[in-house]
Amino acid sequence: MMYGRLNYALPLVLPREQRLELVAHIRRYRAVRAVLVEERQVRLWYTGTLPAREIQQQIIAAVHIAQAAAVTPAERLAEYRRDALISLAGFAAVQIIRRTSPELFAATKIARSALTVLLARKFIQNGVTGLVRDRQPNADTLTATAVIASVLAGKPESSLTLLTLSNCAEMLTSYAAERARTQISGLLSLDQHYVWRVEHGRERKIPIAEVRAGDTIAAHTGEKIVIDGRVLAGSAAVNQASITGESNPAMKHEGSPVYAGSVVEAGELVITVEKVGKDTSLAHIVHLVEEAQSRKAPVQNFADQMANFLVPVSFLGAAIVYGATRDWQRVLNLLFIDFSCGLKLSTATAISASISAAAKRGILVKGGNYIEALAETDTVVLDKTGTLTVGIPQIAFMRTAPGVEEQEMLLLAASAEQHSVHPLAVAIQKYVQAQGWTVPQHEDSQTVVARGMLATVPDFGAYQGGTVRVGSKKFLTENGIHDVTGLVDSSLAGKNLLYVSRDQQLLGVIGIEDPIRPAMKKTLNQMRRYGIDEIVMLTGDSKAVAAKVAQDMDIDAYYAEILPEDKANYVNKLKQRGTVMMVGDGINDAPALAFADVGVSLGGRQTDIAAESSAVTIHGEDPARLMEALELGRRTMRLVHQNFMATILVNSGAMLLGALGRISPLYAAVIHNTATLAVVLNSCRILQTARRSRFAMPRR
């Protein structure tokens, strides 16, 4: 079989994702047998009749998208500024001629028309492109029609006024929107170009670009830490608000982790470098924020659809007015006003500003769609261990048999658990270490699966050794050891107990608990007052422990002893009757986080898979950040709805006045552009909340 071959040259290199998308679009044509999109050309092989024109349109559209994406915000803003200045100068020149020399003004009608068309070239180009490529009119189509109509009507200065106002308003709104998008970069930028590297005991100032993982650097008071690493020596108060959102400085000492973007407020640190450049937590945050701002929320899609729907309405209104009045001034009034700018720009700015404001508080939202979901949340599901609780078991209480000292029991238990990495064993080891006690060395030890530890400990100090068992009650009972003194009574029901025995005597019990996060109950109470209908706890822990936590925290419902897939199933059931926010931190929470409307990973000890599965990542340990995220979502959507109402009411009122002939095209353009600028600035108000400690908003 003979194949036809066709090559298209590309004026620029398409990004990889766009090349794959273009291949998919071209492969949909039945005549195409193979297609290859290279850096500078598109090659395809076909049989039969090839719809070459349609394929060419697809390629041109892809090139236009790539060209638009290649323009940086700064370049776009400079372009708007240039157009605004040129149109303003042209408008001023025409007005001066009109006032000083009416004869010259009348004689330059063709020149004024040419100037107007020249200044409107981009509006005309975009308007025609919208009609041809998208097969529907857009806001630029309205503007282009108004310009052409005014020129044909012999009044090009009317459009010149519109273009001047439009370009100036476009420049101001772009500046406001860009400020909202880039303010986060300014906050998270390092603003420091050098670092002190420690070499052979001496400090040497070097550029940041020369720092490598494994180096040792020094950070002094007032300096910004520019790498991720771990403290090797020294102690200091470090402000890490850019990472965790916590306003209070964190004390750093030997072994503590430090992050790029943190500031040493008092003290000095010697740090081992672990991550530099694009691998740091700071770079990760900036990348997530930039990526999130490109993901549209459903309300943005709605704004785009409504704006596109209202453009034909403006054309229809203009046609009706012209048919009824034959008055071009009234027609221009309707063509000078469109809803598109106010609806699209204000919504995009509000979502972008919201993501930026959240990042400043240590809350990383991965897309605008999650901002909207946060606003609609009415059910909150929480994991227990590491989310409701701190996630680090601690000794809560001890009970010893008559004649047995607490130190004696703890040292024997610590000796038996010396090499264990079980969380309960670690809790005992940490307690003993904090007391400054020396743990006696055991002669041998053995792990008894699902029971505990068995060890032989020699005599030490003033205490007697022996065969030591540490574990569950069942472990001791199976070995003939019983609670003959009544140490454990009904008051300890549901508690997590470790039994400690020596030979055949029960020495005592150690109560180990995972404490509730500070301020967690206060946060849950605030959620209820704020309008959250149901708070549910999911845990793989025992029913007795879960019941105690649920009772202490006044949780509406809980499900205990469940597997990770069970958590996901419960989340799906809850989604059938509301919008669910799932909060977790571990690998076992990942499925539920992925299935929830909004998955939130909380805390500095969150696992990588939990952070990847979640829609919102909170680096700090403060549960109040959960409330802030909910408040931010509702505040953002409240501003979006305000902007919708303001844009539609103001522009509709202006169109009505224009149709009745109560205002001139100049005032119609002023009202439209002022309203657009006002709603964009209203969206920027979200950024101001980031400077306060909470996203204040009236409770419903």
pLDDT at residue 696, rounded to an integer: 46
Task: For the chain, give the longest Cα–Cα distance.
Answer: 118
What is the domain partition of the chain in residue ranges?
4-70, 74-185, 194-225+227-275, 288-351+632-689, 378-389+517-619, 394-513
- CATH 3.30.70.380 matches 394-513: no
Q: Please report which confidence band the pLDDT of residue 278 belongs to, taking 50, 70 and 90 as the band edges.
A: confident
pLDDT tens profile 292-320 = 656 667 887 888 788 778 888 888 888 89
- Residue 457, pLDDT above cutoff 90: yes
- Residue 481 neighbours by CB under 8 Å, 6+ apart: 469, 499, 501, 504, 505, 506
The CA-CA-CA angle for residues 37, 41, 46, to 5°, reads 65
Query: Per CATH, which fold does 194-225+227-275 belong to?
Result: 2.70.150
pLDDT at residue 343, rounded to an integer: 84
Correct CATH for 4-70 of 2.40.50.140, 3.40.50.620, 3.30.70.100, 3.30.413.10: 3.30.70.100
As a whole number, mean pLDDT of residues 654-661 equals 89
The whole-angstrom separation of Cα 289 and Cα 367 is: 8
| N- to C-terminal Cα separation, the chain | 71
The whole-angstrom separation of Cα 418 and Cα 432 is: 11
Q: β-strands 250-252, 379-383: how paired?
A: unpaired
Q: How much of the chain, in percent, has pLDDT values that exceed 70?
A: 89
pLDDT tens profile 592-623 = 888 899 999 887 665 556 667 788 888 778 89
As a whole number, mean pLDDT of residues 489-513 equals 88
pLDDT at residue 698, rounded to an integer: 41
pLDDT at residue 314, rounded to an integer: 83
Strand order across the beta sheet in which 4-9 lies: 4-9, 41-46, 32-37
With CA atoms as reference, report the closest residue to 385 among 580, 554, 587, 521.
587
**pTM exceeds 0.75 for this model:** no
The whole-angstrom separation of Cα 188 and Cα 194 is: 17
* Cα 208 from chain centroid (whole Å): 28
pLDDT at residue 694, rounded to an integer: 46
- CATH 3.20.20.70 matches 378-389+517-619: no
The whole-angstrom separation of Cα 141 and Cα 135 is: 11
pLDDT at residue 293, rounded to an integer: 57
Q: Give the residues across from 205 on adjacent strands.
A: 196
Q: Please report which confidence band the pLDDT of residue 243 belongs to, taking 50, 70 and 90 as the band edges.
A: low
The whole-angstrom separation of Cα 43 and Cα 26 is: 11
199 versus 606: the higher-pLDDT residue is: 199
Q: β-strands 228-239, 202-207: how paired?
A: unpaired
Is 558 within 8 Å of 588 (Cβ atoms)? Answer: no
As a whole number, mean pLDDT of residues 477-501 equals 87
pLDDT at residue 583, rounded to an integer: 93
**Phi, psi (degrees; rounded to nearest 5) at 190:** -75, -35
As a whole number, mean pLDDT of residues 387-396 equals 86
Contacts 24+ apart (CB under 8 A), 499-503: 499/452, 499/469, 499/470, 499/471, 499/472, 499/473, 499/475, 500/409, 500/412, 500/413, 500/468, 500/469, 500/470, 501/468, 501/469, 501/476, 502/412, 502/464, 502/465, 502/466, 502/467, 502/468, 503/466, 503/467
Q: β-strands 580-584, 598-602: how paired?
A: parallel
- Residue 143 neighbours by CB under 8 Å, 6+ apart: 120, 123, 127, 162, 163, 166, 335, 336, 338
- Residue 191, pLDDT above cutoff 90: no
Active-site residue numbers?
Answer: 383
Is 327 within 8 Å of 661 (Cβ atoms)? Answer: yes
What Rg value do the Cα atoms of the chain yield, rounded? Answer: 34
- Residue 327, pLDDT above cutoff 70: yes
239 versus 219: the higher-pLDDT residue is: 219
pLDDT tens profile 154-190 = 777 777 777 777 777 667 666 665 665 555 555 455 5
How big is the chain, counted in residues?
A: 700
pLDDT tens profile 93-133 = 888 888 888 888 888 888 888 888 888 888 888 888 777 77
Q: Name residue 303's amino acid.
A: A
Domains 4-70 and 378-389+517-619 share a fold: no
- Residue 700, pLDDT above cutoff 50: no
The DSSP 8-state label assigned to residue 136 in this structure reads S
Is 124 within 8 Å of 141 (Cβ atoms)? Answer: no
Report the mean per-residue pLDDT for the chain: 83
